[in-house]
Chain A
Amino acid sequence: MSDNHSQTPDLDESNSVLTDAAAAARENQMRTEGAEPISLWIILCSAIVVLIGGGVLFGGNFFDYKNFVKSDYVRQDAPGDGESKMIPKTAILAYSKIGEKKSVSCKGCHGNNGEGSSAIPPLAGSEWVSGPSLRPAMIILNGMKGPVSVAGKNYNGNMPAQGDGLSAQDLAGLLNYIRTNLGNSDDKLITVEMAAEAIAISKERGGGQITAAELDEKYNRDLKGEPLDPNTLVNPKTLEPVAAE
């Protein structure tokens, strides 16, 4: 038997533990279960883990977002000038973005799509919006009262002035937004300079709601200045045109 093994020790089916499976033969037999006292180390280490882990589990943070989420977190600007990292946008996008933000107060009465209501004239399709550009600017800045005919219907409402705290940029954005959105379209944009002129005229006038008759009489004209092509690239913050690269 052992001679056979020496030649083909591993491939035959019989096997002798003593010669071939030395590793299995020399193994210790498994002992029965030990029952030494629990090590102090186990108790000590487990206690530390349970204390810290239990503190997380029962520390009252279960449904508390405040400890995990910073409230009112605003990331500071990175040092250095923000200009260099500015990505130019087309004028129509840059103005509309400002205008859309400011248009919330318009939409409160004139409707989300500028559709108006039985007592409030629409912005959509209104000749007062899409017509000569000084007229809508004056309405926004001074408010409006008295009878007015919009898109073939007569209204007699009362709109308060919206000009407080409205900068020339905001006004330009707002005008461009309502003149190119809400069912209106225009391929010329009002620049910040043009909006500044409207604010100056409004200041000169001295306040008080304006009427349709006064608008037709004194302010039935476009704002002075060169209108902007909607596809001009501008700086989205300052709205200054950027030279194409």
Chain B
Amino acid sequence: MSTQSQVPFIEDAQMRSDIDRSLRHPVMFFFTSGAAWLAVSLVLGIIASAKSHNPAFLGESGWLHYGLTFPAHINTLVYGWGAQAAFGVMIWLMARLCRQPSRNAGTILVAGHIWNLGVAIGTIGILSGHGTGKHWMQFPTFVWPVLLAAYAVIAIWSLVAFRCRNTDHTYISQWYLLGAILWFPWIYLTANLYVNVFDIHPLMAAAINGWFRHALIFLFFAPIAIASAYYIASKVSGRAIYNYSYSVGGFWALAIVAPWAGMQVMTGAPIPMFLQSVGAAATMLVGVPLIAAGINIIKTASGKQETVAYSPSLRFSIAGVVGMLLLAFAGVVLAHPASLKFTQFTMAGYGFDVLAVYGFFSMCMFGAIYFIVPRVTRREWLSRRLIRTHFWCSIYGVLFIFLFCTLLGGFQQGAAQEDHTQPWVQAVKNTLPYTVGMTVAWCFLLYANFFFFIHLALMWLRLGRRSSHPTLLRREHSALGPHGPEGDVDELEAAKA
């Protein structure tokens, strides 16, 4: 590297570290509290899943029965973990790409606490029997305005940062982030107004609820995860995005197709037929932008197999992108009207949600977290074994869920239900192996994320390694490698002196 390029390079790095520093508190708060909610959600998920095949599990205590633990599980997963991980990645990535240190970290941190309070009160509300009973909106109705207000305070600064950006070029991740930032309040407000406030026909309310779930996945979780995966793939592999114009096309395709998805959950119900058809078609066609982004990202990282294997952030992100391709496949298979006959009233819908929120979105978020946390805490991850455990147990768990819940279980249960000469309880009995498989899958995920939470909490307490070396997923560092010999920063400095 020549001397001329050395100076701007150092200035550039200085700016990056200033940005990281300005956001370290809110970002670490979102990640750590999100990981804690994830662990809570997984415990509740195990209880709910075990209850579905063994109702006597944990005795008869009222607040632990399936009807309370399941909604608490899915809502903590979506609002406790999913949304908070998204916020952390969103504010950090937007600041980095706009080349602006944040000046509002304190405000964001306060809003983050309010969000957490809202989720906590909502979860207690569900467990004490005051849930609304509307899927993904089970928090008592006074919670959603609080969450929306907290969201506004968190997200507005990313819009401000984009408006005042120090660069002419709008990177593809910024498109996706902007989309997610603006779509979330639209989806959340519309759905909550129509389902919880306005007095509309309950069938339409149920249809809007189905739209809300798909919109939240395709218009909030998906764009944030894609933004992060584009960034990480390009950043860690050191390559330009494979085909940039196609990635922008993918963004607009998502923006056009995804808002139509969701109402196929009401197929056969007396709501206008075209809503169901359009919902089914859109859920399938969302595959196009997902495939565009997915293959673009994989192509960007391809040829750098070693980096994908060694870098935790890239490895998780690529796994998440593979999850995204599986999600596109599942969308085509599950939303086709011919298979809706079998899957509409089965566990397949739940499997689809989990594949989207965990197999795709969360894996990308883990990748981002493994990238961001060392930068904002200035400590390296403590243990490559913990990262490996996290990775492989997550993969096993999600594969179990994809196979047992989304595909096999859903169709098996649906086929058994279609046979209406048999009593319905037979269909329930048929799914026993799959529900047991689900419980095992949740146990894998809990094991993975319990250690992830511990690892992250240690990093939050600034107990990470002080080293000039990243924690890579291989046995040892070569002294000849690009990062130089491994060692403690203090020792290296002393040696230099």
Listed in ascending order, the chain A residues whose CB lies under 8 Å from chain B are 2, 6, 9-10, 15, 17-39, 41-42, 45-46, 48-50, 52-54, 56-57, 61-65, 67-69, 75-76, 78-79
- Note all chain B residues with C-beta closer than 8 A to A18: 10
Docked-complex contact A46 and B273, CB < 8 angstroms: no
Docked-complex contact B288 and A33, CB < 8 angstroms: no
Q: Does B52 contact A (CB under 8 A)?
A: no
Docked-complex contact B470 and A37, CB < 8 angstroms: no
Docked-complex contact A23 and B421, CB < 8 angstroms: no
Docked-complex contact A69 and B285, CB < 8 angstroms: no
Docked-complex contact B375 and A24, CB < 8 angstroms: yes
Docked-complex contact B240 and A68, CB < 8 angstroms: no
A21-B375, A46-B292, A57-B278 known, 16 other contacts, Cβ within 8 Å:
A6-B490, A10-B378, A22-B378, A24-B17, A24-B20, A25-B13, A26-B468, A30-B234, A36-B299, A41-B295, A49-B284, A49-B328, A53-B332, A56-B284, A68-B267, A79-B421
- Note all chain B residues with C-beta closer than 8 A to A9: 378, 466
Stretch at the interface among B34-42, B242-250, B354-362: B242-250
Given contacts A36-B299, A38-B246, A53-B332, contact A21 B277 (CB under 8 A): no
Docked-complex contact A57 and B243, CB < 8 angstroms: no
- Note all chain B residues with C-beta closer than 8 A to A67: 337
Q: Does B23 contact A (CB under 8 A)?
A: no
- Note all chain A residues with C-beta closer than 8 A to B238: 28, 31
Q: Does B239 contact A (CB under 8 A)?
A: yes
Q: Does B296 contact A (CB under 8 A)?
A: yes
Interface size band for B: 35 or more
B302: nearest chain-A partner, CB-CB: A39
Q: Which of B440-497 contact A (CB under 8 A)?
A: 462, 466-470, 483, 489-490, 493
Docked-complex contact B483 and A26, CB < 8 angstroms: yes
A151 to B235, CA, bound (A): 96
Given contacts A26-B483, A54-B281, A65-B273, contact A42 B17 (CB under 8 A): no
Q: Does B306 contact A (CB under 8 A)?
A: no
How near does chain A come to B328, taking the closest CB pair, in angstroms?
Answer: 7
Docked-complex contact A28 and B337, CB < 8 angstroms: no
12 A-B residue contacts at CB 8 Å?
A2-B493, A9-B466, A17-B14, A21-B13, A23-B374, A25-B13, A30-B171, A42-B296, A53-B332, A65-B273, A68-B267, A78-B423
Given contacts A49-B328, A52-B332, contact A21 B244 (CB under 8 A): no
A2 to B490, CA, bound (A): 9
A22 to B423, CA, bound (A): 65
Residue from the set B10, B13, B21 with the largest chain A CB neighbour count within 10 Å = B13
Given contacts A10-B378, A31-B239, A42-B291, contact A24 B16 (CB under 8 A): yes
Docked-complex contact A23 and B291, CB < 8 angstroms: no
- Note all chain B residues with C-beta closer than 8 A to A68: 267-268, 273, 276, 337
Docked-complex contact B378 and A20, CB < 8 angstroms: yes
How near does chain B come to A3, taking the closest CB pair, in angstroms?
Answer: 9
Docked-complex contact B241 and A33, CB < 8 angstroms: yes
- Note all chain B residues with C-beta closer than 8 A to A63: 273-274
Q: Does B122 contact A (CB under 8 A)?
A: no
B 13-27 to A, binary, CB cutoff 8 A, 1 in contact else 0 = 110111011000000
How near does chain B come to A1, taking the closest CB pair, in angstroms?
Answer: 11
- Note all chain A residues with C-beta closer than 8 A to B299: 36, 39
How near does chain A come to B210, taking the closest CB pair, in angstroms?
Answer: 15
Docked-complex contact A42 and B295, CB < 8 angstroms: yes
A33 to B171, CA, bound (A): 9
A79 to B336, CA, bound (A): 33
Docked-complex contact B291 and A49, CB < 8 angstroms: yes
- Note all chain A residues with C-beta closer than 8 A to B378: 9-10, 20-23
| Cβ contact of A17, chosen from B17, B243, B300, B380, cutoff 8 A | B17
A15 to B378, CA, bound (A): 11
Residue from the set B241, B268, B462, B467 with the largest chain A CB neighbour count within 10 Å = B241
How near does chain A come to B494, taking the closest CB pair, in angstroms?
Answer: 9
Docked-complex contact B244 and A35, CB < 8 angstroms: yes
| Cβ contact of B240, chosen from A6, A23, A31, cutoff 8 A | A31
A195 to B234, CA, bound (A): 88
- Note all chain A residues with C-beta closer than 8 A to B201: none
Docked-complex contact B235 and A27, CB < 8 angstroms: yes
- Note all chain B residues with C-beta closer than 8 A to A56: 277, 280-281, 284, 336-337
A114 to B285, CA, bound (A): 59
Docked-complex contact B234 and A45, CB < 8 angstroms: no
A46 to B16, CA, bound (A): 37
Docked-complex contact A31 and B234, CB < 8 angstroms: yes
Given contacts A30-B234, A75-B420, contact A45 B20 (CB under 8 A): no
A61 to B336, CA, bound (A): 12
- Note all chain A residues with C-beta closer than 8 A to B274: 62-63
- Note all chain A residues with C-beta closer than 8 A to B284: 49, 52-53, 56
Docked-complex contact A17 and B337, CB < 8 angstroms: no
Given contacts A33-B240, A34-B239, A57-B277, contact A25 B17 (CB under 8 A): yes
A46 to B336, CA, bound (A): 16
- Note all chain B residues with C-beta closer than 8 A to A78: 423
A178 to B288, CA, bound (A): 66
- Note all chain B residues with C-beta closer than 8 A to A64: 273
B340: nearest chain-A partner, CB-CB: A68
How near does chain B come to A35, taking the closest CB pair, in angstroms?
Answer: 6
A68 to B272, CA, bound (A): 12
Docked-complex contact A39 and B462, CB < 8 angstroms: no
| Cβ contact of B17, chosen from A15, A53, A76, cutoff 8 A | A15
How near does chain A come to B285, taking the closest CB pair, in angstroms?
Answer: 4
- Note all chain A residues with C-beta closer than 8 A to B244: 33-35
A78: nearest chain-B partner, CB-CB: B423
A63: nearest chain-B partner, CB-CB: B273
A122 to B18, CA, bound (A): 93
- Note all chain B residues with C-beta closer than 8 A to A21: 13, 16-17, 20-21, 375, 378
- Note all chain A residues with C-beta closer than 8 A to B281: 53-54, 56-57
Q: Does B345 contact A (CB under 8 A)?
A: no
Q: Does B9 contact A (CB under 8 A)?
A: yes
A173 to B165, CA, bound (A): 81
Docked-complex contact A29 and B12, CB < 8 angstroms: yes
- Note all chain B residues with C-beta closer than 8 A to A33: 240-241, 244-245
A26 to B21, CA, bound (A): 16
Docked-complex contact A32 and B332, CB < 8 angstroms: no
A107 to B282, CA, bound (A): 51
| Cβ contact of B288, chosen from A26, A32, A41, A46, cutoff 8 A | A46
B 223-259 to A, binary, CB cutoff 8 A, 1 in contact else 0 = 0000000000011101111111110000000000000
Docked-complex contact A45 and B300, CB < 8 angstroms: no
A18 to B295, CA, bound (A): 36
